[in-house]
Structure 1
Amino acid sequence: MNNVILIGMPGSGKSTIGVVLAKRLGYRFVDSDLVIQERTGKLLHQIIEEKGIDGFIRVENEVNESLDMEKTVIATGGSAVYGKEAMVHFKSIGTIVYLRLSCESVADRLGDLNERGVAVRQGQTLEDLYEERVPLYQRYADIVIDCEDKMIKDIAAEIEGALKK
């Protein structure tokens, strides 16, 4: 139970903050999206194109549920919270930290959602996705960190402080 699992919207800084946090804690860093790509041999958007959103979420859930590590900061994909089994597993192996960012800030940071491999359904807007996911992030989070207008190093320091409490 010594891992830190970062959850949040695409563009919230999970991977970037995760690397900095891992260095501060002396932990390893793993990006679960990269593990998915490595195991499937495909880019995220290719998996979504081939298997659809539900198929992608199944693959993501299976990979996340299988992650077995210690002293690791794990940056998850934004859709990881759709995988109940994976989230239960994450709770059992570490502390889940939700990196909260406003929908406006997420929109400013993201480019093309499909090109980025964001699990967005046909006709669904970023706002729709945000409203759907935020309650899930809040449900699973052990710690919530507000990332609005903050520097990466300050967010990492805030997470480190919250973990020590």
Structure 2
Amino acid sequence: MNNITLIGMPGVGKSTIGVVLAKVLGYQFLDSDLLIQKQERRRLREIIEEEGYMGFKEIENRVNASIDVNHTVIATGGSVVYCEEAMNHLRSIGTVVYLKLSLDSLAKRLGNLQCRGVLLKDGQTLKDLYEERTPLYEKYADVVLDEEGKDLEESLHDLLEILEENSK
């Protein structure tokens, strides 16, 4: 087990679980959204506003496809699954874990999607986004962790068990 990449909808806890998982495993932690912001010297929301939907996807693909790390937990932006090159790269450097949560639970966790820097097409709702992305998360995932009804500790415990099983 070299790297662990966390994918999933905004609000599933990729960064939260990622930081704790990295500490438990003795790994580094990398938030690819923060890496995008650092390289672009702009916040995600600004990049989306200035570059548009397709421009942001190109930047996200380039940054994620260039990640070169070892023994790192990588928390990605929810839209990384639109970037085939980036996803193939992330799969080649480690295990991809899909953090899965129901639409109802996500709706309760999320506030204003635009303020979070969520990549939305004009008129797209959270439900539309969920239905569009779920098959992509499933396509790229090596491991699926269903977080429904679990707190951070339970999710982390279950994920560690799954990763341990997969490493055998």
Q: TM-score, normalised by structure 1?
A: 0.98
Partner of 1:94: 94
Computed over aligned residues only, the root mean square deviation of the Cα atoms, in angstroms, reads: 0.8
Superposition deviation, residue 156 in structure 1? 1.4
Cα distance between partner residues in 2 of 1:125 and 1:151: 26
Partner of 1:142: 142
Matches within 5 A, 1:146-161: 146-161=146-161
Superposition deviation, residue 157 in structure 1? 1.7
Superposition deviation, residue 124 in structure 1? 0.6
For the 8 Å contact 1:20–1:153, the answer to whether it is kept is no
Deviating 4+ runs (over 3 angstroms) = none
Deviations 1:49-75 (A, max 9, x none): 001111101100100000000000000
Task: Name the SS of the counterpart of 1:30 in structure 2.
Answer: strand
The letter for the 2-side match of 1:61 is N
Cα distance between partner residues in 1 of 2:90 and 2:6: 10
Deviations 1:25-50 (A, max 9, x none): 11011100000000000000100000
For the 8 Å contact 1:65–1:89, the answer to whether it is kept is yes
Structure 2, unaligned runs of 5 or more: none
Cα distance between partner residues in 1 of 2:27 and 2:9: 23
Partner of 1:126: 126
The letter for the 1-side match of 2:87 is M
For the 8 Å contact 1:64–1:86, the answer to whether it is kept is yes
Superposition deviation, residue 149 in structure 1? 1.4
Q: TM-score, normalised by structure 2?
A: 0.96
Structure 1, unaligned runs of 5 or more: none
Partner of 1:112: 112
For the 8 Å contact 1:36–1:63, the answer to whether it is kept is yes
Task: Name the SS of the counterpart of 2:136 in structure 1.
Answer: helix
Identity rate of aligned residues, in percent? 59
- Range that drifts further, 105-114 or 133-142: 105-114
Cα distance between partner residues in 1 of 2:93 and 2:149: 30
Partner of 2:37: 37
